[in-house]
Amino acid sequence: MTGHAHLDLVGGISGDMFAASMLSAFPGTRDQLERDLSDANLTDWVTLRVCEVRKSGFAATQVGFEITPGAPPTRHWKDIRARLQGSALRPAVRAAAIDIFSGLAEAEAASHGIPVDKVHFHEIADWDSMADMVAAASLIVSTKIASWSCSDLPLGRGRVQTQHGLIPVPAPATAHLLTGFRFADDGGEGERITPTGAAILRHLLPSQDGRQAGLKLSGIGTGAGQRDMKGIPNLCRLMYFETASAAADLVGSLAFEIDDMTAEELAAALERIQTSRGVLDAGYTTGYGKQSRSRHTVTVLVEPARTDEIVDLCLRETSTIGVRIGSVRRRVLRCEPGLGGGLRAPAVDRPGGATAKVARDEPVGVGGDE
């Protein structure tokens, strides 16, 4: 799935509101979400609850995580990171979850003036915050949305009670995460952007200017928060846009040559590049350069907003001393996951009609007799 998603933060955003809006727009992702929560070793202590509600007269999806009584504490960032790193999560989901949580840990460290590994999460519950962030990572990776934007952020008013006493909203870590974002004061009271919601926004949006033109509205999801607010629906609306069939996306294109790394070294470097946020595709071809030396030509397609950081990544992970930077137009066919007879067979919507093919990595003999 490609395209662009825009978040209208009517009532604000939290981890559960983001997950609810995604499940509302893409209900087919729920099964994979539940598998990812299990692979993250969360289901022994956390139970996903999804229901349909009405907020200020609007129908919406609401997500909550029920914590099993007696769940052990996991509030130190170093413990949470180790738990995620040692989990069976899909590599892309694991990387996204760690990135979201890392942003929050770094913001807390900056707010309190302590090393990041000393961060202890006081104001956010541990298990449901892990579930929020793993859920966000799962849904982001499963939908493969190419770009994101959001409305101006509601500022909120008043103070919240914390372990450190009454503090103004947005809370210090939230404000740190949202530096550079645009805010609007709609008069709404209380905390409107939670720390978890802010960490998700920072993960999705390197800048707030992500709107695109020439897109076709394809789906809408509405997520509800837990609170009711006077005069303001506590909703987060997601609008999903597809590129019109005659149009094409503009993406960043990086290219460089390598002649002093082995194929094994380059394959390891490419794996790290391919799984990095903002990378759409990466690969290499082999040929011959000066003095008939074997040479690998590497090409990387990236989200335009993340071009500079991926260039830095390529320069760190490989031995190249220069990267050619450009842009290319691409047209991507819509692809939906499909299942049949126990096999994973993605369906592709082609101009001449839909096609499906069993995925290459599907194990042989699925569903057969032992």
Indicate the length of the chain as a whole number.
370
At 50 the pLDDT is 97
Short-list 8, 89, 38, CA closest to 30: 38
The conformational region for residue 214 under phi > 0 = left, psi -120 to 50 = alpha, else beta, is left
Q: Count Cα atoms within 13 angstroms, Cβ side, for 239.
A: 14
| CA 54 – CA 63 distance, rounded (Å) | 13
At 36 the pLDDT is 97
At 125 the pLDDT is 52
At 363 the pLDDT is 47
Write out pLDDT tens, residues 277-291. Answer: 889 999 999 887 666
Model confidence, pTM = 0.67
Winning range, highest mean pLDDT, from 18-27, 72-81, 270-279: 18-27
Residue 273: CB atoms within 10 A of its CB come to 21
| CA 196 – CA 193 distance, rounded (Å) | 8
Checking if the pLDDT of 10 tops 70, the result is yes
- Is the Cβ–Cβ distance between 237 and 77 less than 8 Å? no
Write out pLDDT tens, residues 83-134. Answer: 899 999 999 999 999 999 999 999 888 887 888 887 776 544 568 888 999 9
With a CB cutoff of 8 Å and minimum separation 6, the contacts of 350 are 333
| CA 21 – CA 235 distance, rounded (Å) | 9
Q: Span 166-171, mean pLDDT?
A: 83
Short-list 149, 137, 179, CA closest to 22: 137
Categorize the per-residue pLDDT at 214 as very low, low, confident or very high, splitting at 50, 70 and 90: low
Write out pLDDT tens, residues 303-319. Answer: 887 888 999 999 999 99
With a CB cutoff of 8 Å and minimum separation 6, the contacts of 56 are 228, 232, 233, 234, 235
- Is the Cβ–Cβ distance between 36 and 90 less than 8 Å? yes
Report CA Rg, the chain.
22
Structure tokens, 107: 């913001």
More confident residue, 48 or 112: 48
Checking if the pLDDT of 28 tops 90, the result is yes
Q: Span 344-354, mean pLDDT?
A: 70
